[in-house]
A and B are shown apart, each in its own frame.
Chain A
Amino acid sequence: MLTCNDATRLLSDSQEDRLSFKARMSLTAHLMMCSGCRNFGRHLQILREAARAFAAGEDERTGEEQGQP
């Protein structure tokens, strides 16, 4: 049985590498029971998208829009 520390680590690792079959199975079992880690997994996706949008200058574009009266 994975702890939340283990599960979030696997979720994080899966952003770099494909997890082993065994790791995917234990992770799936944990996520079925743990809403906190399910949310964490979604947050990782949002973090990634936000970081890329930030690097692409999205924050500056919203800044310009808001600068208009």
Chain B
Amino acid sequence: MSNPEGAPDLAASEELRDGPFIEDWRRQMIKFATLQLGNAQWAEDAVQEALVGAYKNAGAFRGRAALKTWVFAILKNKIADALRHRQRVVEASAPLREDDSADELAGPFDERGFWRTAERPVAWENPERAVHDHQFWRVFEACLDALPPQQARVFMMRELIELSADEICQAADITAGNLHVILHRARLRLRRCLERNWFGEGERPC
């Protein structure tokens, strides 16, 4: 109160320490890290380190959005470190811009670019019921886990962490074009996985 110049910064770090949103971030970060590291303890450690960085530097950021982007960028580095430590050097250090067009996902379309009959998406029954089903979430998690690492990382930044396209391009050091290609592939693959393992009872359209 008696320190008007320092007040905004103090307020920002106070908010970071106490705000309920930090618990939401933590949960998102733990998911993000666990899926990529495959180990709850390592994930916990990486998230902890990233949050410590956030506490220290909260005052330097204007607004939560900028801080969140930054915290997740740190987390991504921590995850990369942890993966390297596990001797998964090739995978962890593979640059995101690397083209993975050779992956098997010529899959859903024929050579003219139209759905193969067996791959054509069907209508999903009762999607709103699925989110209340514990088993659905196990399938969802397994499908996320089955994505190639690059696709998983970018998809999670976009849909779990809700970073904007620009923020992801910056954090992952990829172009907008790459981002769109990666997200398209990830969505095709996830959709197919969920349809095969959960929603697959609908009639196939002709």
Quote the shortest CB–CB distance from B122 to chain A (angstroms). Answer: 6
Assess the A46–B127 pair: CB atoms within 8 A.
Answer: yes
Interfacial residues of chain B within 27-59, with CB under 8 A of chain A in the complex: 27-28, 31
Assess the A3–B113 pair: CB atoms within 8 A.
Answer: yes
Q: Total A-B pairs in contact (CB under 8 Å)?
A: 110
> Using a Cβ–Cβ cut-off of 8 Å, how many residues does chain B contribute to the interface with A?
44
Q: Is B88 an interface residue (CB 8 A)?
A: no
Assess the B131–A6 pair: CB atoms within 8 A.
Answer: no
B contact set with A: CB distance below 8 Å? 24, 27-28, 31, 109, 112-115, 120-124, 127, 130-134, 137-138, 140-141, 155-156, 158-162, 164-165, 179-180, 183-184, 187-188, 190-191, 194-195, 205
Given A12-B184, A59-B138, output 20 extra A-B contacts at Cβ < 8 Å: A5-B113, A8-B188, A9-B184, A16-B164, A36-B120, A43-B191, A43-B195, A44-B191, A47-B194, A50-B130, A50-B131, A51-B155, A51-B159, A52-B160, A55-B159, A56-B27, A58-B131, A59-B137, A59-B140, A62-B131
